[in-house]
Amino acid sequence: MTVTRLHSPLDRLLDEAQRALETTLGNPSAQRPYPAATTPEIALDPAERRHAAGLMRINHVGEVCAQALYSGQAAVARDPATRAHLLHAAQEETDHLAWCARRLRELDSRPSLLNPLWYSGSYAIGVLAGLRGDGWNLGFVVETERQVEAHLDEHLDILPPADLRSRDVLQVMKADEARHADQAEDAGARTLPFPIPGVMQFASQVMKTVAYRL
């Protein structure tokens, strides 16, 4: 006899809580190899090391926020295909999360202490976006990925030149984010209207300023 188990709201809530804890406090493992595995580690002076760690902490927070945003959107998505797209997108960011965490350890640093706060804020934004409908959901994915891609570009410019390992991680992430945006566009994303992209940019600027230090 086959028993089909329906997910109750409580199951869903527990799934969400588990994902939040794994993302913010756990140690997620990557499915793909570490992009800097064979890249030489060149000694950085203490100031360069601190700067590189600050940038990688921002990138780690960016991935926490992307996961939270997509999970929040998926929780209220109406179309199962959109929901699957969002959960898959969140899953793919796990590699990025694990790689940034590893690079932070290599730089003798740590992820942001405020990750639970970044996660809950982004999750709430994801739920609000998701309630607007599925075309909007995908529009948020496109805007998030394009903004992350742009800030990765900026970080590639300002990383200490000798930090080849962080650079290799960011290059692969940047190519992935561009692909994520293209996939969401192909799946029917709507262009987000004024002032939403600007508000998202402002929120991410606040996050970057704080996460560089904390």
Chain residues binding Fe ion by CB under 5 A are: 63, 93, 96, 145, 177, 180
Cβ nearer to Fe ion, comparing 77 with 170: 170
Q: How far apart are CA 156 and CA 39, in angstroms?
A: 16
Q: Does 7 belong to an annotated binding site?
A: no
Q: How far is CA 74 from CA 47, 49, 148, 152, 190, in A?
A: 41, 37, 20, 25, 17
If the CB atoms of residues 63 and 106 are measured against Fe ion, the closer one turns out to be 63
Nearer to Fe ion, 51 or 96 (CB): 96
What span, in angstroms and rounded, lies between the C-alpha atoms of 211 and 209? 6
Query: What share of residues in the chain are helix, strand, coil (percent, to 5)?
Result: 70, 0, 30
Least distance CB 45 / Fe ion (angstroms): 29
CB of 77 to Fe ion, least distance (A): 17
- Give least dist CB 7 to Fe ion, A: 26
At which residue do the structure tokens 């566009």 appear?
185
Q: Which amino acid is at 193?
A: P
Query: From the CB of 59, what's the least distance to Fe ion, in Å?
Result: 8
For Fe ion, the closer of residues 44 and 61 by Cβ is 61
Distance CA 199, CA 182 (A): 22
- How many other CB atoms sit within 10 Å of the CB of residue 154? 11
Whether 126 and 144 have beta carbons less than 8 Å apart is answered as no
Is position 60 annotated in a ligand binding site? no
185 is in an annotated binding site: no
16 is in an annotated binding site: no
| Comparison of 20 and 141: residue with beta carbon closer to Fe ion | 141
Return binding residues: 63, 93, 96, 145, 177, 180
Return binding residues for Fe cation: 63, 93, 96, 145, 177, 180
